[in-house]
């Protein structure tokens, strides 16, 4: 070999070891291991699909699916789960388990927990502002879903997908009839039009044997399967345009935004009706009335999914024309129901961010006290309320069932101070993705309140 060749090789070797050493400081070994990289590379990056399936990419990029790993809430909670996995044998599996659904390609590659996100060029997924992205950051992405062949066993749950991705370009599975693509082979798969496909990740049983997510099971128990409406029918509605730039025009082309606990889906998902048989009353008069809460549009219970965090609450009050609250009407306590306290808002410090044996409780609801709350309370093995689904030993819930009509009984003592006024009796149903107190604890922004529905009656108070 010529001398200059030796020089070049030496330079390359030096350069390579420099890169590896450099990377070693920022990343765990796994990500720089060739085998891990290869397995990650079994799946194409989403931007490979962008050129021909732009609308799919554009809607997916704005969805929670694309943030399933990078989302601030997931990241903060996963860090907590990792702390618990290290100190508690019973939950050591969560290190891998969370990733099975939130970053399935990292799970399949065995990069657990996924190597930390840095600014270095390991992978060029989406050259966005804020640096290069890592493989794990792809979350739940195109090529992962479209190479799912089936699920193992009879029930879809706990990421029991069977992925047929391997080296090379795998056939893309979907619902189209006679597709042809210059980039990939296709494979028709009935599963893609079936709710069980979604159940693979939307049903979850934790190490305590509790079903902490059961959206697909809830759906199967409702009226929609018989009507032929799957999750896709509501969450992936048809869009105008073609599924692929180069393909033929088709009757349908499915949205990939996967909207859920957001304004467009939540607003109107349930309806309120005030039942009161009087329009005029005297000061100091006591009046009974009801509020009917009707679950309308969700194909599962409302709320569903991350039910330990999602809250739906009914606020009832008396207001003046300007909207000032004159009196807050609280839901009466039910002494016959030992679980009643879980369904009435409180700001007591009784909620634990993880197992109660590991720390101090925070405020539970951060809402006006005394409102009816529809949600799931997760109870740990010491009997305390926890936000950590991995420690849920028992679920206590009162969520709205499909098309259910729930009746709430109220009593109002008209205060003397309102004599001679015309007031508005108003009931408002609100939804929120997580309590402000928990967001504060995790150090992430509080989530907005979305109004689901309201009803009003005008009441004349005599002098």
Site for ligand HEC in 338-367 (CB under 6 A): none
CB 101 within 8 A of CB 202: no
* Nearest of 236, 238, 235, 254 to residue 298 by alpha carbon: 235
Q: Which is nearer to ligand HEC, 329 or 429 (CB)?
A: 429
Q: Which is nearer to ligand HEC, 94 or 293 (CB)?
A: 94
Contact mark string toward ligand HEC, 129..148, x via CB under 6 A: -----------xxxx-xx--
Angstrom distances, CA of residue 222 to CA of 194, 218, 263, 307, 403: 15, 7, 23, 18, 9
Q: Which is nearer to ligand HEC, 175 or 397 (CB)?
A: 175
Long-range Cβ contacts of 320-329 (<8 Å, 24+ apart)? 320/421, 320/423, 320/424, 321/422, 321/424, 326/415, 326/417, 326/418, 326/423, 327/412, 327/415, 327/418, 328/368, 328/370, 329/410, 329/412
Measured from the CB of residue 143, what is the shortest distance to ligand HEC in angstroms?
Answer: 4
Identify which range of 109-117, 192-200, 331-339, 455-463 contacts ligand HEC by CB under 6 A.
Answer: 192-200
Q: Which is nearer to ligand HEC, 378 or 410 (CB)?
A: 378
Contact mark string toward ligand HEC, 407..436, x via CB under 6 A: --------------------------x---
The single residue among 42, 46, 364, 459 that binds ligand HEC, judged by CB under 6 A, is 46
Q: Is 215 in the site for ligand HEC (CB under 6 A)?
A: yes
The single residue among 62, 184, 271, 341 that binds ligand HEC, judged by CB under 6 A, is 184
Nearest residue by C-beta to ligand HEC? 305
* Neighbouring residues of 414: CB distance < 8 A, sequence distance ≥ 6: 281, 282, 283, 284, 285, 286, 287, 461
Measured from the CB of residue 345, what is the shortest distance to ligand HEC in angstroms?
Answer: 18
Taking CA 199 as the corner, what is the angle to CA 57 and CA 247, rounded to the nearest 5 degrees? 30
The single residue among 211, 265, 319, 358 that binds ligand HEC, judged by CB under 6 A, is 265
Residue carrying structure tokens 């609308």: 55
Q: Which is nearer to ligand HEC, 11 or 246 (CB)?
A: 246
Q: Is 227 in the site for ligand HEC (CB under 6 A)?
A: no
Q: Which residues within the stretch 58-117 sit at the binding site for ligand HEC (CB under 6 A)? A: 60, 64-65, 67-68, 71, 73-74, 77-78, 81, 94, 97-98, 100-102, 104
Q: Which is nearer to ligand HEC, 287 or 444 (CB)?
A: 444
Q: Which is nearer to ligand HEC, 260 or 317 (CB)?
A: 260
CB 384 within 8 A of CB 205: no
Residue 32 tokens read as 């720089």
Residue carrying structure tokens 């044998």: 89
Measured from the CB of residue 113, what is the shortest distance to ligand HEC in angstroms?
Answer: 11
Residue 251 tokens read as 């009757």
The single residue among 253, 315, 372, 375 that binds ligand HEC, judged by CB under 6 A, is 253
Q: Is 387 in the site for ligand HEC (CB under 6 A)?
A: no
Residue carrying structure tokens 């005297």: 282
User: Residues touching ligand HEC: how many (CB under 6 A)?
Assistant: 96
Residue 155: count other Cβ atoms within 10 Å of its Cβ.
15
Q: Which residues within the stretch 288-347 sit at the binding site for ligand HEC (CB under 6 A)? A: 297-300, 302-306, 310
Residue carrying structure tokens 């599962």: 300
Q: Which is nearer to ligand HEC, 46 or 114 (CB)?
A: 46
Residue environment code for 273-291, b if the CB has 16+ CB neighbours within 10 A, otherwise e: ebebeeeebebeeebebeb
The single residue among 44, 123, 137, 308 that binds ligand HEC, judged by CB under 6 A, is 44
């Amino acid at each position: 070999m010529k001398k200059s060749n030796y020089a070049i090789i030496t330079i390359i070797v030096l350069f390579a070891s420099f890169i590896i050493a450099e990377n070693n400081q920022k990343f765990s070994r796994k990500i720089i291991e060739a085998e891990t990289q290869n397995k990650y590379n079994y799946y194409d990056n989403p931007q490979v699909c962008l050129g021909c399936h732009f609308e799919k990419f554009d809607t997916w990029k704005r969805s929670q699916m694309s943030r399933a790993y990078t989302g601030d809430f997931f990241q903060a909670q996963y860090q907590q789960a990792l702390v618990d996995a290290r100190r508690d044998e019973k939950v050591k599996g969560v290190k891998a388990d969370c990733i099975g659904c939130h970053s399935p390609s990292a799970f399949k590659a065995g990069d657990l927990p996924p190597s930390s996100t840095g600014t270095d060029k390991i992978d060029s997924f989406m050259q966005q502002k804020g640096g290069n992205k890592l493989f794990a950051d792809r979350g739940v992405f195109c090529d992962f879903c479209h190479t799912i062949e089936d699920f193992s066993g009879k029930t879809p749950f706990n990421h029991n997908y069977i992925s047929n991705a391997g080296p090379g370009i795998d056939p893309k599975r979907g619902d189209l009839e006679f597709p042809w693509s210059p980039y990939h082979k296709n494979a028709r798969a009935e599963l893609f039009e079936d709710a069980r496909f979604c159940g693979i990740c939307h049903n979850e049983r934790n190490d305590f044997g509790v079903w902490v997510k059961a959206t697909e099971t809830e759906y199967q128990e409702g009226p929609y399967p018989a009507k032929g409406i799957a999750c896709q029918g509501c969450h992936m509605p048809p869009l105008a345009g073609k599924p692929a730039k180069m393909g033929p025009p088709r009757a349908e082309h499915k949205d990939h935004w996967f909207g859920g606990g957001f304004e467009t889906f939540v607003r109107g998902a349930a309806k309120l009706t005030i039942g009161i048989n009087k329009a005029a009353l005297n000061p100091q008069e006591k009046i009974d009335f009801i509020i009917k809460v009707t679950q309308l549009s969700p194909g599962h219970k409302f709320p569903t999914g991350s039910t330990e965090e999602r809250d739906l609450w009914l606020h009832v009050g008396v207001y003046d024309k300007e909207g000032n609250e004159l009196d807050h009407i609280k839901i009466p306590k039910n002494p016959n129901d030992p679980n009643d306290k879980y369904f009435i808002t409180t700001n007591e410090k009784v909620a634990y961010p993880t197992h109660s044996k590991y720390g101090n409780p925070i405020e539970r609801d951060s809402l006006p006290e005394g409102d009816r709350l529809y949600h799931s309370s997760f109870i740990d093995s010491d009997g305390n309320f926890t936000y950590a689904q991995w420690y849920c030993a028992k679920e206590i819930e009162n969520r709205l069932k499909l098309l259910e009509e729930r009746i709430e009984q109220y009593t109002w003592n008209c205060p003397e101070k309102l004599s001679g006024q015309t007031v508005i009796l108003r009931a408002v149903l609100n939804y929120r993705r997580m309590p402000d107190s928990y967001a504060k604890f995790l150090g992430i922004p509080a989530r907005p309140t979305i109004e689901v529905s309201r009803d009003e009656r005008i009441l004349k108070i005599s002098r």
